[in-house]
Amino acid sequence: NKGLYIAAELLDPHVWAYLKNYDDIVFYDNDFEVFIDPDNDTHRYYEFEVNALNTMFDLFMTKPYRNGSGAMITYNAPGMKWAVDVQGTLNNPSDIDKGWTVELFIPFWAVSIANSAKVPVDGDFWRINFSRVQWKTEIKDGKYIKLKGADGRNLPEFNWVWSSQGVINMHFPERWAYLHFSKQLSGDSKNSFTIPYSEEQKKYLWYVYYLQQDYYQKHKAYASDLGKLGVTQLIFPVEGKENKLWMEAGTHQFMVFISSDEQVYSVNNEGLIQLRKRTSK
């Protein structure tokens, strides 16, 4: 009831890491990363990165980079603990390693900035994803050096994720996996998780959100109505219930709504998901 425990095993025949200082940009080394959005609104989320030297880079995001946010690197997760174990040798190209493991403990209250601080209860869920950054290297003078392309720049890193997002960008919280909190043991046949009804509703909001962002790129303004986005169907079935979709938009702002009852979910031009009271629409 105190926090989230995470462990990862990373198989790697050549374990290396050179960044040593807290809050170094750790993904410039091979690393393991954790992304957490406790309240599932795509804003106010957390990122934790660690390399094989046990160097931590933790940061807080007020909103995704796509919506004009910068990383709050001054955030240091209070009470967090982490450790790394290398199965082999570190920074030694002359042998073959098995890999490395990392363990993290993240207190619940350490991920409560601008969120409601609470201990998750049975049935709650967060959004979460894990990423592994892996660079192509060669050995020069006994050191691992990143391979470069014909333009002289480092070749792009590999980004391997736990739950596929369909885009090479971790900062799409709406595409992360679900972390379900349950009193039942993992693997218990009684411990089942189904995607909540509201999450199925939100898929239609995100569909319009992406259309609007594409429209803005082309026209330097948002579409004033759904028809201009090619959305002519305004009633959508979700698990047998009719849902009404509507939008309010100006040149540089918009908000899309969906509802089947007294609860109304919305997403705005900054990708913020909110639960609202039913309007007269």
Contact 135/157 with Cβ under 8 angstroms? yes
In a domain, 68, yes or no: yes
* pLDDT given for residue 92 in this prediction: 97
Beta bridge partners of 140: 143
In a domain, 160, yes or no: yes
Q: How many helices (H) and strands (E) does the chain have?
A: 1, 17
**Same domain for 12 and 116?**
yes
* Ramachandran category for residue 2: left, alpha or beta (phi over 0 → left; psi -120 to 50 → alpha): alpha
Which whole-number Å values give the CA distances from 219 to 67, 68, 224, 270, 271, in the listed order?
18, 19, 12, 18, 19
Report the distance separating Cα 170 and Cα 273, nearest Å: 18
**Same domain for 15 and 82?**
yes
CATH of the domain at 58: 2.60.40.1190
**Same domain for 36 and 80?**
yes
**Same domain for 11 and 109?**
yes
**Same domain for 63 and 140?**
yes
In a domain, 47, yes or no: yes
**Same domain for 117 and 253?**
no
**Same domain for 21 and 130?**
yes
* pLDDT given for residue 281 in this prediction: 47
Contact 43/63 with Cβ under 8 angstroms? yes
* pLDDT given for residue 280 in this prediction: 54
Tallying the residues shown for the chain, one arrives at: 281
In a domain, 137, yes or no: yes
Which of 241, 252, 248 is closest to 266 using CA atoms?
248
Which of 114, 134, 109 is closest to 72 using CA atoms?
114
The DSSP-derived string for 12-28 is -SS------STTS-GGG
Give the side-chain half-sphere CA count within 13 A for 69: 22
Give me the tens of pLDDT residue by residue for the chain, a chain 281 residues long.
899 999 999 999 999 999 999 999 999 999 999 999 999 999 999 999 999 999 999 999 999 999 998 899 999 999 999 999 999 999 999 999 999 999 999 999 999 876 655 789 989 999 999 999 999 999 999 999 999 999 999 999 999 999 999 999 999 999 999 999 988 877 776 767 889 999 999 999 999 999 999 999 999 999 999 999 999 999 999 999 999 999 999 999 999 999 998 899 999 999 999 998 765 54
Domain with 95, as residue range(s), is: 3-180
**Same domain for 159 and 250?**
no
In a domain, 107, yes or no: yes
What are the percentages of helix, strand and coil residues in the chain, rounded to 5? 15, 35, 50
Letter for the amino acid at 234?
Answer: L
* pLDDT given for residue 94 in this prediction: 95
**Same domain for 132 and 250?**
no
Which whole-number Å values give the CA distances from 137 to 66, 101, 157, 168, 238, in the listed order?
30, 21, 10, 21, 48
**Same domain for 167 and 207?**
no
In three-state secondary structure terms, 218 is helix
**Same domain for 250 and 152?**
no
In a domain, 45, yes or no: yes
Could you say which of 129, 154, 180 is where a domain stops?
180
* pLDDT given for residue 116 in this prediction: 59
State the total domains in the chain. 2
